[in-house]
Structure 1
């Protein structure tokens, strides 16, 4: 192959210097070693005396013609060592004597004359070294003509073929005599050069070489061989002008080397490199499948279809066995100009947004599914998508009907392309399964329904992150508390995926459990921080066999065998009381809420900062303030206000503009407006939780409170007050049970606690009864025996009410109960 020019050199550029054979080293003499025009020639008479002496003989041997004429040949030539001599056309090895006495190894060709004249024979003498060099040059020319894989052809000035070597004859498929004299473009009528600039046809190139003397190297010519018209071949061609010693132009010589296999190998490597750049870069089954179709068409196949099992598309595990592959979905397809979309053997049916595919019996696709291997059927190549020993689908490569089929190298390329697609689809399948599980877990852990509250009106939104990032750990909740109060919480767990969703579920459950104990916000966050921070410095070490120790040694430490792995979480917790319109908040590394007052102004309160959960070391602090009726409270995670195009401060300003002046707007519309403004369509790296709350109040018509002294007579007074207020509210049916409850609670407060006492009734969605005292001991249920004189009062109360509990305050405690209204009771 001609490698004279690097790939970076312009093949259309002429050679810098045009050389001839006579300017090459040692003259590059290509004539034979015994050419009498240049070799030492001696004419001998029949008796062996010299009668003729050429100037070349004088130059080689140093004897002048007058000195050797008439003398015998052994004067300058020693007798041959081998009487047999050499071959007639190669001469014999002899030793010639120079005039100065030197012995010169030579090759002598003897030619006898039979004309009967004065000359009997002619000796042609050549120095042995030069004879060997000349024979090598002749062998080179012979090899180029008969053995070289490089195709050589000579065209005359009319661009007609005059000579070609054996390699050229083999390409054409006929002997030279049958196509000698034909123009070049008649042999390759559809051929063209592939270089972007410059001449495109053979005639243009060779005419330019003849007219200007330019030499062209490494031009890529694409055409069909006359001996192999089924496929295109690519040659690396070089052209240079031929001329004689006088400069007369004789024609142009063409060197051509078939680089089709090399070009196709490079093309296959390019396809693999392109596949590496495009296949498997997304965690989506359809996108990965479409990538292999886009890579393969049209450079490898005329059409490609990718069919994947429904279970794999949905993130499930493909089943074993041939029957498992019947439920296929067409997830990607692409066709070139001559390709077909679904293939002649596929029948598609609409299946919602998906396209199910059924192949008939005997089709290559069904045979591939049954065998688990590739199937090559004429112009269709089917390769299964396999991962972990299981078949997830099929890739069908098709070419238009014709002689072009898939050879061994192309089948190997299809295997490699499909293997890469299978790996990407399997990764996408696994991600789809994990994401679906995480979304399902998170949606189940988030509140599915928020019941109506007398304290607030609520609207909420949750938006998961994009498919690449995965499900996060944002959550929100609205927790009903005693005394018609409500707990509002929003939090964010660091990370994404199943671990974040599971951690979010544990935290939300813990917050709900702690909130029902009526803890203050700062105390609740402290308890939550202790829970999250229970992570040992190092994982538990296995106990060697036979080692003895206590429980801590067997379980790996005090934290147990399953320590928490949460590395960071934020939380904001608020409690709102609709009776006093008082709100208490505390935060752990979370953003403060937005408060829109009834006059339309929007503020972000400067809550005392607290560290994220799990860090420990710093206490949490609550902040208390009053909220007028109709105030709007927005609790959110950073995914709402933080984005690639803006920082958090800008996002909070935007949220303030969206909510400001709209305290009385519909909450659902405000949620949609905030999401549309702060989370426009597109991908986002974090999920978002938004909780909008509008405060309400319970007025004096629904709340009754009385101060009582800590004395036994207060029990009777409490019964009278409760009975009168229930009559006013139209709830006489609750009077008996409520009298018993109030009598027991007040009696216990007088006997076991300190005064003063306060009795409060709240007509909410249930009847709330509260007795507050200055004591800090909590009553509890007892199982009294038949001999006990007391201990049954609280048990009776528990049977009469639906719920009861204790709420601690800075000044003491409050015992509260809830009773459901009887059917037909007037609405509050």
Structure 2
């Protein structure tokens, strides 16, 4: 053993170990003096790349490690001053234009007399692990952000936003145009001439050059890396330069590549079960490293997730298209024309397949307005909507008041819900509860009233001629298909001539319109404004209203029923009333220009109805004639006994009145009110000369 400078023996083993570390250790080792100048480095040190050790000795750390993006000298000075070691601190660096990451540990060195000698550094290249961490972060971001909507275009935008700039400098998504429309994707290889839509583009430069704008639909020239990837569904990593042989095939894309100064291209097919949905093109420009095998593997995972999201969106689009087609076939094309009510149908943002509307002509010049919405989605909701709309149409034939009709519709919905609950356990429809909202209103122009009943939260919006807006306080019954044997209540409101009624299948829309009533009440002359213009103004005013979803809407304007097209008389409860009724009927029909067979049939009908009222009814008795799209005869009395159609025997003298009436009239029925009942008939009018 030899003596050291301080009189202590030198440990030859320790010296040998130190020499071995500097000569053979795979990590970078550095010794710096108290002035942070290099004393010794080993060959694994990043600064030794092609530089002799003698050229580094004595140089300050800030010069030797200029490739590091962090202020290394400040970090080391802090270690010297405080003695607190710097442990596994990560710093970025750039060597030969390639970005690296290093893990640095710095320890202060002191002699036995506690004099500071310098700093010892250990540097580990953690570029691969850092890249793996970055890739995992990108993958997590894509899994969280991509596919949040069922829109293939939005899915592409979410993908490029997640990749730029963390993974690529330019990202482009192109999807087979048929897939956007909901059709099945073609099997690989992609047939030549298949159009693709550019759904998303993002670059780090503003503006970034691109061959085609977003939304453009075009075919891919072949052969290129893009068509090759869509042929065998394998990714392509391509080093770009100005002499690539496929540049001449696709000059527009080649010019965009040159303008962006991209040097590395990664083409990844969007594929699912051997079908080609589209392609993702990723570029790196400037000093970004070229794509490697790890990047390609990550891109395949990203593309697989995106392809699944796009396919889900495609399936939803197709299902929604089918449901919308069924809905269009089940809904009326245009409102029925009524003398006292002008109506227009309107759909906002593509009505939900479960939403429906209807206007139904009733007896006595009345009109029923119906709007509803079935829970669920797609085809199942559309089919249930059709069942409920048919049920409403059938129930109106019984001339029921709105609250009773709603109760019977509720019972029908309960039966449909029970049928659904009895489906096999494996049927997914069984797990979807059948519920629906509905509002049913009857407009009577002769009394200028509207009587309505609601299941759920749907109510109409009424704008009266003085521009006041009314939301009727209608007692809301339970949603259809929920509570059994639930009561419903009817509400009657005044709707003077010129009032506008808005029925919607979305209660949020009704509430929003009640606040934004400008398009309904604004000048000039909203009462006389063409109804289609009023509908357009309503849509323009809504814009992108908060919370406004897909909705079916009826906009209706009330009109006055012509006074000369109706007549009513109070009759005595005596047999002489029949002759009086026939005479007044004959005179009124002559005033309307109705003669011949129509007049004869009407007088006979009136005779039978008045005779029944005198014999079996309760005074007071009233006869009313209405000349509308049909000729309506009404006989009212205060009794509640319902007449019954009978087939009298050959020798019987009575019992033929309603039978004769039913033969002469197009339709007949009984309508009950709080004050009694009304027997009515409708006759088809002869064509005008």
Under TM normalisation by the shorter chain, which class is it? 0.7 to 0.9
Kept in 1, the 8 Å contact 2:173–2:281? The answer is: yes
Per the TM alignment, residue 261 of structure 1 is displaced from its structure 2 partner at its CA by 1.6
Kept in 2, the 8 Å contact 1:382–1:394? The answer is: yes
- Name the SS for the 1:269 alignment partner: helix
- The separation in 1 between residues aligned to 2:307 and 2:635, in whole angstroms, is 69
- The separation in 1 between residues aligned to 2:680 and 2:576, in whole angstroms, is 19
User: Does residue 1:194 correspond to 2:64, yes or no?
Assistant: no
- The separation in 2 between residues aligned to 1:246 and 1:398, in whole angstroms, is 59
- Alignment equivalent of 1:366, drawn from 223, 227, 235: 227
User: Does residue 1:619 correspond to 2:479, yes or no?
Assistant: no
- Name the SS for the 1:484 alignment partner: coil
> What stretches of structure 2 of length at least 5 have no aligned partner?
240-263
Aligned pairs for 1:716-731 within 5 A: 721-731=584-594
User: Does residue 1:258 correspond to 2:125, yes or no?
Assistant: yes
User: Does residue 1:142 correspond to 2:5, yes or no?
Assistant: no
- The separation in 2 between residues aligned to 1:513 and 1:341, in whole angstroms, is 62
What do residues 379-430 of structure 1 show as CA deviations (whole Å, max 9, x unaligned)? 3222111234432111112234999432221111111222222233233333
User: Does residue 1:776 correspond to 2:661, yes or no?
Assistant: no
Higher deviation after alignment, 283-292 or 321-330: 321-330
In the alignment, which residue of structure 2 is the partner of 1:516?
A: 397
Tell me how large the CA RMSD over aligned residues is. Answer: 5.0
In the alignment, which residue of structure 1 is the partner of 2:255?
A: none
Aligned pairs for 1:149-188 within 5 A: 149-154=26-31, 163-168=40-45, 172-173=49-50, 176=53, 179=55, 183=59
CA pair 230-564 structure 1, distance change in 2 beyond 3 A = closer
Aligned pairs for 1:521-540 within 5 A: 521-534=402-415, 535-536=417-418, 539-540=421-422
What do residues 451-499 of structure 1 show as CA deviations (whole Å, max 9, x unaligned)? 331122335544358xxxx937444332111221111233344455544
In the alignment, which residue of structure 1 is the partner of 2:200?
A: 332
User: Does residue 1:375 correspond to 2:236, yes or no?
Assistant: yes
CA pair 741-563 structure 1, distance change in 2 beyond 3 A = farther
- The separation in 2 between residues aligned to 1:600 and 1:163, in whole angstroms, is 91
- The separation in 1 between residues aligned to 2:288 and 2:424, in whole angstroms, is 67
Aligned pairs for 1:303-322 within 5 A: 303-322=170-189
TM-score by length of 2: 0.77
What do residues 15-55 of structure 1 show as CA deviations (whole Å, max 9, x unaligned)? xxxxxxxxxxxxxxxxxxx32679xxxxxxxxxxxxxxxx9
- The separation in 2 between residues aligned to 1:365 and 1:792, in whole angstroms, is 84
Aligned pairs for 1:397-796 within 5 A: 397-400=282-285, 404-459=289-344, 461-464=346-349, 471=352, 473-494=354-375, 497-534=378-415, 535-536=417-418, 539-540=421-422, 567-590=434-457, 592-595=459-462, 597-598=464-465, 603-608=470-475, 610-614=477-481, 615-624=483-492, 627-636=495-504, 637-642=506-511, 664=527, 666=529, 679=542, 681-684=544-547, 686-705=549-568, 721-732=584-595, 735-740=596-601, 742-743=603-604, 746-747=607-608, 750=611, 754=615, 760-770=624-634, 776-779=642-645
Per the TM alignment, residue 764 of structure 1 is displaced from its structure 2 partner at its CA by 1.6
What do residues 98-148 of structure 1 show as CA deviations (whole Å, max 9, x unaligned)? xxxxxxxxxxxxxxxxxxxxxxxxxxxxxxxx99xx565244223302221
Aligned pairs for 1:37-436 within 5 A: 134=11, 136-154=13-31, 163-168=40-45, 172-173=49-50, 176=53, 179=55, 183=59, 191-195=66-70, 198=71, 218=88, 220-225=90-95, 229=96, 231-238=98-105, 254-324=121-191, 326-337=194-205, 341-342=209-210, 348=212, 354-378=215-239, 379-400=264-285, 404-436=289-321
**For this pair of structures, how many residues does the alignment match?**
650
- The separation in 2 between residues aligned to 1:751 and 1:386, in whole angstroms, is 77
CA pair 420-135 structure 1, distance change in 2 beyond 3 A = farther
- The separation in 2 between residues aligned to 1:300 and 1:438, in whole angstroms, is 40
What do residues 510-537 of structure 1 show as CA deviations (whole Å, max 9, x unaligned)? 2122113311212211211111122449
Per the TM alignment, residue 361 of structure 1 is displaced from its structure 2 partner at its CA by 1.8
Per the TM alignment, residue 206 of structure 1 is displaced from its structure 2 partner at its CA by 7.3
- Name the SS for the 2:477 alignment partner: coil
Kept in 1, the 8 Å contact 2:662–2:668? The answer is: no
CA pair 193-387 structure 1, distance change in 2 beyond 3 A = same
Kept in 2, the 8 Å contact 1:188–1:224? The answer is: no
Kept in 1, the 8 Å contact 2:633–2:682? The answer is: yes
Per the TM alignment, residue 808 of structure 1 is displaced from its structure 2 partner at its CA by 3.4
- The separation in 2 between residues aligned to 1:511 and 1:474, in whole angstroms, is 14
Which structure dedicates a bigger proportion of its chain to helix? 2
CA pair 691-170 structure 1, distance change in 2 beyond 3 A = closer
TM-score by length of 1: 0.65
- The separation in 2 between residues aligned to 1:655 and 1:403, in whole angstroms, is 56
- The separation in 2 between residues aligned to 1:537 and 1:377, in whole angstroms, is 60
- Name the SS for the 2:44 alignment partner: helix
> What stretches of structure 1 of length at least 5 have no aligned partner?
1-33, 39-54, 57-129, 544-560, 644-650
In the alignment, which residue of structure 1 is the partner of 2:257?
A: none
In the alignment, which residue of structure 1 is the partner of 2:684?
A: 819
Say which one has the larger Rg.
Answer: 1
- The separation in 1 between residues aligned to 2:216 and 2:517, in whole angstroms, is 43
What do residues 290-319 of structure 1 show as CA deviations (whole Å, max 9, x unaligned)? 222222223322322111111222233213
Per the TM alignment, residue 266 of structure 1 is displaced from its structure 2 partner at its CA by 2.0
Higher RCO, Cα 8 Å, sep 6+: 2
- The separation in 2 between residues aligned to 1:181 and 1:490, in whole angstroms, is 87
What do residues 673-699 of structure 1 show as CA deviations (whole Å, max 9, x unaligned)? 66677x552442654455444433334
What do residues 156-181 of structure 1 show as CA deviations (whole Å, max 9, x unaligned)? 7898766433424995246646x465
Per the TM alignment, residue 207 of structure 1 is displaced from its structure 2 partner at its CA by 8.3
Kept in 1, the 8 Å contact 2:336–2:361? The answer is: no
- The separation in 2 between residues aligned to 1:243 and 1:400, in whole angstroms, is 47
- Alignment equivalent of 2:2, drawn from 19, 35, 47: 35
Per the TM alignment, residue 622 of structure 1 is displaced from its structure 2 partner at its CA by 3.3
- Name the SS for the 1:508 alignment partner: helix
